[in-house]
Amino acid sequence: MKNILITGGSGFIGSNFIHYLLKESNFSGRIINIDKLTYAGNPENLISIEDEFKDRYSFFKVDICDKESLANIFIKYKIDAICHFAAESHVDRSIASPEAFIHTNIIGTFNLLELARTNQDHIELFHHISTDEVFGSLGDTGIFSEDDPYRPNSPYSASKAASDHLVRSYHKTYNLPVTISNCSNNYGPYQFPEKLIPLMVLNAVENKPLPIYGNGKNVRDWLFVNDHCKAIWTIMQSGKRGETYNIGGNTEMENLPLVEMICDILDDILPENGNRPHKELITFIKDRPGHDLRYAIDFSKLQRELRWKPEESLTSGLQKTIKWYLDNKDWVNHIKSGEYRTWIESHYS
């Protein structure tokens, strides 16, 4: 793989993956990042990369629903691998306005697959990033394995399920060399503060309520984003084409104790903060419609076949993440004030 097209590389996981590939991995080729820069895409995530890796990194503001622009980039840069992150990714937004999820997650993925199919002679790999949410919700017991049926419950997970099926079908029908990974909830640096962990950290620091949906007993399996990046690169290099791999953190937690953990860490590292104990900010609010009770993921296939396992513990991962949000006040302020949007508009209008 010499020229990897990364879609959605300016979002949370995509930008962490670009940092990982260029700074920590054995990859020696070039990255072409295309991103529409929706509210979730932030060029500031990659400022240091633009400076440090001028010869190996290029960015284009492109919508994956725009076939013509995609085709031009594909040909100009002799793309031989695709790592597809671009998506609308937030469940609550998919409940409020599902349409963008259908366009980007389904049609956008279809456009990329078509481009790969029509350039198949020089495509080594199409890696599709997906979620454990396609499997639906578990009760108190059980664990998702790669062979489980898909039972998505939100417009977000349904659109991701549709895209997974399309990717699979392009392998079965056209023999496109694909791999798919279905990962559990990620957390870490550069996550947009609408998702649970960064939202709670930033609200707690500002003495704002910490809104917990329902009774706080919903369970997620948390994975530190750098562990996810390592898993993706492992699969891209050694995964069997046509296969799906589950990725998980082995860290099941109910939402309430997770938020309490965040509060305890903040009590320790911000002893002078007048908001202590931060737990007192916790507020229970109306539940999310169709709220999946529990996700748990069996990643033994990835562990057995490709020797990957998560390295970060939840405690150390949360400590690193909270510290990152406290240390990167400019990044946080630019998002909160909307300044990052003004910057994008002035640079890409």
- List 196, 225, 322, 332, residue binding ligand TYD (CB under 6 A): 196
Residue 108's binding partner out of ligand NAD, ligand TYD, none, with CB under 5 to 8 Å set by partner kind: ligand NAD
Distance of alpha carbon 242 from alpha carbon 167, whole angstroms: 9
Distance of alpha carbon 170 from alpha carbon 148, whole angstroms: 20
Q: Which residue lies nearer to ligand TYD by CB, 91 or 263?
A: 91
Least spacing, CB of residue 280 vs ligand NAD, in Å? 28
Choose, from 133, 221, 292, 312, the residue flagged as catalytic.
133
* Pairing of the two strands 3-7 and 81-84: parallel
Per-residue binding letters, 241-280, with ligand TYD (x by CB under 6 A) = --------------x-------------------------
φ, ψ dihedrals at 96, nearest 5°: -75, -45
Q: What are the angstrom distances between the C-alpha of 33 and each of 59, 86, 91?
A: 5, 10, 24
- Indicate if 132 belongs to the active site: yes
Residue 2: both structure tokens together: 């010499």
- List 30, 84, 160, 220, residue binding ligand TYD (CB under 6 A): 220
Name the one residue in this structure whose structure tokens are 């202590």.
276
Residue 15 CA to its chain's centroid (Å): 9
Least spacing, CB of residue 153 vs ligand NAD, in Å? 15
Angle at which helix 314-327 crosses helix 196-205, to 10 degrees, equals 50
- List 199, 261, 270, 326, residue binding ligand TYD (CB under 6 A): 199
Choose, from 156, 170, 187, 340, the residue flagged as catalytic.
156
Which spans in the chain are helix H?
12-23, 47-52, 67-76, 91-96, 99-101, 109-118, 155-174, 196-205, 225-238, 255-269, 300-306, 314-327, 329-337, 339-348
Q: What are the angstrom distances between the C-alpha of 20 and each of 23, 25, 28, 293?
A: 5, 6, 12, 32
- Indicate if 133 belongs to the active site: yes
- Tell me if 160 contacts ligand TYD by CB under 6 A: no
Least spacing, CB of residue 186 vs ligand NAD, in Å? 4
Residue 291 CA to its chain's centroid (Å): 19
Residue 220's binding partner out of ligand TYD, ligand NAD, none, with CB under 5 to 8 Å set by partner kind: ligand TYD
Residue 326's binding partner out of ligand NAD, ligand TYD, none, with CB under 5 to 8 Å set by partner kind: none
Residues near ligand NAD (CB under 6 A) are 7-8, 10-14, 35-38, 40-41, 63-65, 85-89, 104, 108, 129-131, 160, 183, 185-186, 192
- Tell me if 179 contacts ligand TYD by CB under 6 A: no
Distance of alpha carbon 316 from alpha carbon 338, whole angstroms: 30
Tell which positions 83-122 bind ligand TYD, by CB under 6 A. 91
Interacting residues with ligand TYD (CB under 6 A): 91, 185, 195-196, 199, 211-213, 218, 220, 255, 288
Catalytic residues: 132-133, 156
